[in-house]
Structure 1
Amino acid sequence: MQFSDRIIKLTAEAERELRPQFDEFDRIAYVNTARVLEAFSAHRVSEAMFAPSTGYGYGDIGRDALDVIYADVFGAEAAFVRHNIVNGTQAIAIGLFGLLRPGDVMLSVTGKPYDTLNEVIGADIKNGDGSLADFGIKYDDVNLLPGGGIDYAGIEKKIAEYGDSIKVIFIQRSKGYMNRPTLAASEIGEIIKFVKARCRAYVAVDNCYGEFCDEAEPTAYGADLIMGSLIKNPGGGMAECGGYIAGTKRAVELASYRQTTVGIGTECGATIGQNRNMFKGFFYAPHTVDQAKKTAALAAYIFDKLGYPVEPAWSDERHDIIQTVRLGTPEGLCAFCRGIQSGSPVDAYVTPEPWDMPGYADKVIMAAGTFVSGASIELSADGPLRPPYTAFFQGGLTYESGKYAIMTAADMIISGK
């Protein structure tokens, strides 16, 4: 593709200005890579662990090794990683249903969670489909302060109101479809310290999009559960499906009984040939996340200079792989997504259109020219068709391919295509 001189010059300028940020991303990637390698060595990863198991999956040494590797790398007591967790929403649902019982309260301290959890929680939709609300579990939340800060006074008030009925304090690390800052793992640690000094609840963190963006995960700061998807950060672009749950021993055990059944937990589960890619993906993950962060920072710089509000700013620290660009109109949002799609390695000829995506209240447009369907560690962009028409951009297996797609999208925007 022939790019305009304006975009070529702006990209060169961006890469000069972003050098300090890129160096810091590389430093974090090295720290995390070293921790992964040390865990692989400590648990004697070998070719035999990549062999597939079938049926019940008894004695699958690869599955069992990957579980403890995730736990070690994430600073947790236990973990399980399974290819048949279909997405991050299911991983979170497994964790929540594992911890909560009838009469318990789930309190979200980062406002209303991501759209796809609405039906899981059942606070707004009561249709008997088996939500938490259907099982007599109450939900409440504390909104973030203007500017995205944590409302500690509001949290303290809710804890006093519900007392020991609060069983789960829920934290969403990333912004979801909200225009608010992503939380650093250390910030989540401060929330954990605050709530554990005031109640005995489990702290469960939706960790999607945040893995390996910081030097440590929320479990290293005391989270009882973190949950995420393997077609996001920790799969490194290699895992074809799956999810994980990590945390304290008892919390992970309870979650495992929802993944399989009480009395079986993590002892069963055939891997049917997925181990190799899950190991390889976790090995690649710190580097792949590094590439995605560089791609996001480049997008922030270019679109900021083109006059569009972006979050985070190009010079900010990054605690997840998501970059937002506020396009202001449905046409602008759709043009951005068309540009990302046409700059992708797969289905570049396809024109994305808004559609009624399951689990979302508004039509969503999604650009995802990915090798693995829906993989948001790969280059993708999406957004709900509601004001202020914000594109949520994430991923990029390589910085070079991400750069190409961003330049394509920017050229489409300025040319009005």
Structure 2
Amino acid sequence: MFTDRVLRLMEQAEQKIEEKLKDIDRVVDRNQWKVIRAFQKHKVSDYHFAASTGYGYNDRGREVLDLVYADVFGAEAALVRPHFVSGTHTIGTALFGVLRPGDELLMITGRPYDTLHKVIGKPGDGNGSLQDWGISYGEVGLLEDGSPDYAEIARRIGPSTKVVGIQRSRGYAWRPSFTVSRIAEMVRFVKEIRPDIIVFVDNCYGEFTELTEPTEVGADLIAGSLIKNPGGALAETGGYIAGKAKYVELASYRLTAPGIGGEVGAMLGTTRSIYQGLFLAPHLVGQAVKGSVFAAAVFEQLGFTTSPHWSDPRTDLIQAIQFTGAEHLIAFVQGIQQAAAVDAHVVPEPWDMPGYEHPVIMAAGTFIQGGSLELSADAPIREPYIAYMQGGLTYSHCKMGVLTAIQNMIDRGLLA
């Protein structure tokens, strides 16, 4: 399957990262225990897994699921639903829930992920975007080293600033993802200027990679997708919002309708998989993080620039690898697809994907469509040609994906 050269790369990388993998296991243990304790506190039983239909009145499984999530994330309340169709939908619901015409959303971690651009929109665009509803938008770029520009943040916060937004993960940007300790620093800074500002964190890709979550260090509201980390590869769709109870309630009114909120909503047989996925999530996230560390170590040995470095602290699933041209990038992504258990025969090609500003190539041989806790990779076809790898339900699969991608590049004559 692999040449001796590729296998030697694997052996050298694994020797180098041995202690790092043990550190990841320690994080997995603590997060696993935290999840189990939340289940035990709320006396989760098999009757909580029963399906509901229609309005979903008195669905105790749904109600307890919200309580479990709130405890796991150190929040006052949570809203966990299969009715969220994506992370972008979940984030949009949270923002529309707490913002009103005349308010400002200020992102302090630079330009957000591409799919959120349409949610923010433009004044008068007619699409029902935030700006179309008279909610102004501003953003503060990061400093050259990827850290927040606190002087500019202080200057930009004004009387109409209602929500300060933080994107934890890098998105399609060559910058470090923000650790929970760095998010805590940002929260403290903003609250010293205006204690009433709502600090919102896009938590996608970050759950269970560290021992704490943003809501445990002062963030007022967070949101994420169930087909990423917390769904544990079993949740078939959905998202979650967690934070201060009053803000979660406002978000629930946006999901359903004012006065209805989170008190209704048939779960349609999804409850058990969401519970079980949460139970598995700490372990599976650990497997994926190990895969990212391995990928960084191997590609650094080959002379490529990676972010984060294999030894850097991890706060999300994303491993960015910078290539020297589009050919290398495409060969890498296609190699990841070749290693999939599902759709390995499919050859991904760049295409104009809705919500993105450049052609994007995506490898996603997953059991859950778009499930990025599973091994996947994607990249916009633009300079400086960076591929973003994430996920992997088993460390073994992560290794196979990385090695297949390297073998693919060698076979095409792209690696000397």
Select between 150-159 and 169-178 the one with higher mean Cα deviation. Answer: 150-159
Aligned counterpart in structure 2 of residue 167 of structure 1, from 162, 170, 175: 162
- Residue 372 (str. 1) matches residue 371 (str. 2): no
Question: Distance in 1 between the 2:112 and 2:214 partners?
Answer: 17
Aligned counterpart in structure 1 of residue 342 of structure 2, from 343, 346, 366: 346
Question: Distance in 2 between the 1:305 and 1:259 partners?
Answer: 47
| 1:173-192 equivalent positions in 2, closer than 5 A | 173-192=168-187
Alpha-carbon deviations, 1:174-195, whole Å to 9, x = none?
0000000000111101111110
Question: Distance in 2 between the 1:350 and 1:204 partners?
Answer: 38
- Residue 157 (str. 1) matches residue 155 (str. 2): yes
Alpha-carbon deviations, 1:144-184, whole Å to 9, x = none?
1101011111111112xx22x11000000000000000001
Counterpart contact for 1:39–1:72, Cα < 8 Å: yes
Identify the residue that residue 294 of structure 1 maps to in structure 2.
290
Aligned-partner residue type, residue 113 of structure 1: P
SS in 2 for 1:197: helix
Instruction: After the TM superposition, list the runs of 4 or more consecutive aligned residues in structure 1 that deviate by more than 4 angstroms.
Output: none
Question: Distance in 1 between the 2:313 and 2:186 partners?
Answer: 19
Instruction: Give 1:127 shift.
Output: 2.5
Q: Which runs of 5+ in 2 are unaligned?
A: none
Question: Distance in 2 between the 1:153 and 1:233 partners?
Answer: 34
Aligned counterpart in structure 1 of residue 267 of structure 2, from 268, 271, 283: 271
Question: Distance in 1 between the 2:375 and 2:221 partners?
Answer: 28
SS in 2 for 1:258: helix
- Sequence identity of aligned pairs in percent? 53
| 1:1-20 equivalent positions in 2, closer than 5 A | 2-20=1-19
Alpha-carbon deviations, 1:284-343, whole Å to 9, x = none?
000000000000011001111111111000111110000011112111111001100000
Alpha-carbon deviations, 1:218-276, whole Å to 9, x = none?
00011111000000000011111100000001110111110111101110010000001
Question: Distance in 2 between the 1:308 and 1:411 partners?
Answer: 15
Instruction: Give 1:414 shift.
Output: 2.3
Instruction: Give 1:121 shift.
Output: 0.4
| 1:139-150 equivalent positions in 2, closer than 5 A | 139-150=137-148
Instruction: Give 1:19 shift.
Output: 1.0
Aligned-partner residue type, residue 375 of structure 1: G
Alpha-carbon deviations, 1:193-223, whole Å to 9, x = none?
1101111210110000000011010000111
Question: Distance in 1 between the 2:323 and 2:371 partners?
Answer: 23
Question: Distance in 2 between the 1:404 and 1:301 partners?
Answer: 14
Question: Distance in 1 between the 2:6 and 2:308 partners?
Answer: 21
Question: Distance in 2 between the 1:201 and 1:315 partners?
Answer: 35
Aligned-partner residue type, residue 142 of structure 2: L
Aligned-partner residue type, residue 155 of structure 2: K
SS in 1 for 2:315: coil
Question: Distance in 2 between the 1:29 and 1:407 partners?
Answer: 25
Instruction: Give 1:126 shift.
Output: 5.1
Aligned counterpart in structure 1 of residue 129 of structure 2, from 112, 131, 134: 131
Question: Distance in 1 between the 2:255 and 2:125 partners?
Answer: 23
Question: Distance in 2 between the 1:61 and 1:351 partners?
Answer: 45
Question: Distance in 2 between the 1:130 and 1:137 partners?
Answer: 11
Q: Which runs of 5+ in 1 are unaligned?
A: none
- Residue 114 (str. 1) matches residue 90 (str. 2): no
Identify the residue that residue 85 of structure 2 maps to in structure 1.
86
Question: Distance in 1 between the 2:60 and 2:181 partners?
Answer: 33
Number of residue pairs the alignment of both structures matches: 412
Question: Distance in 2 between the 1:262 and 1:224 partners?
Answer: 21
Identify the residue that residue 65 of structure 1 maps to in structure 2.
64
SS in 1 for 2:384: coil
Question: Distance in 1 between the 2:338 and 2:124 partners?
Answer: 40
Aligned counterpart in structure 2 of residue 224 of structure 1, from 220, 226, 231: 220
Identify the residue that residue 98 of structure 1 maps to in structure 2.
97
Counterpart contact for 1:328–1:387, Cα < 8 Å: no
Aligned-partner residue type, residue 188 of structure 2: K
Aligned-partner residue type, residue 28 of structure 2: A
Aligned counterpart in structure 2 of residue 326 of structure 1, from 322, 338, 341: 322
Aligned counterpart in structure 2 of residue 355 of structure 1, from 344, 351, 354: 351
Question: Distance in 2 between the 1:243 and 1:178 partners?
Answer: 23
Question: Distance in 1 between the 2:19 and 2:144 partners?
Answer: 30
- Residue 241 (str. 1) matches residue 240 (str. 2): no
Question: Distance in 2 between the 1:50 and 1:216 partners?
Answer: 27
Question: Distance in 1 between the 2:221 and 2:409 partners?
Answer: 41
Question: Distance in 1 between the 2:318 and 2:59 partners?
Answer: 35
Aligned-partner residue type, residue 38 of structure 1: R
Aligned-partner residue type, residue 181 of structure 2: S
Aligned counterpart in structure 2 of residue 262 of structure 1, from 251, 258, 262: 258
| TM-score, with length taken from structure 1 | 0.98
| TM-score, with length taken from structure 2 | 0.98
Question: Distance in 2 between the 1:330 and 1:16 partners?
Answer: 31
Aligned-partner residue type, residue 352 of structure 2: D
Aligned-partner residue type, residue 85 of structure 1: F
Question: Distance in 1 between the 2:9 and 2:341 partners?
Answer: 23
Question: Distance in 1 between the 2:3 and 2:321 partners?
Answer: 21
Aligned-partner residue type, residue 249 of structure 1: A
Question: Distance in 1 between the 2:340 and 2:399 partners?
Answer: 11
Question: Distance in 2 between the 1:9 and 1:84 partners?
Answer: 47
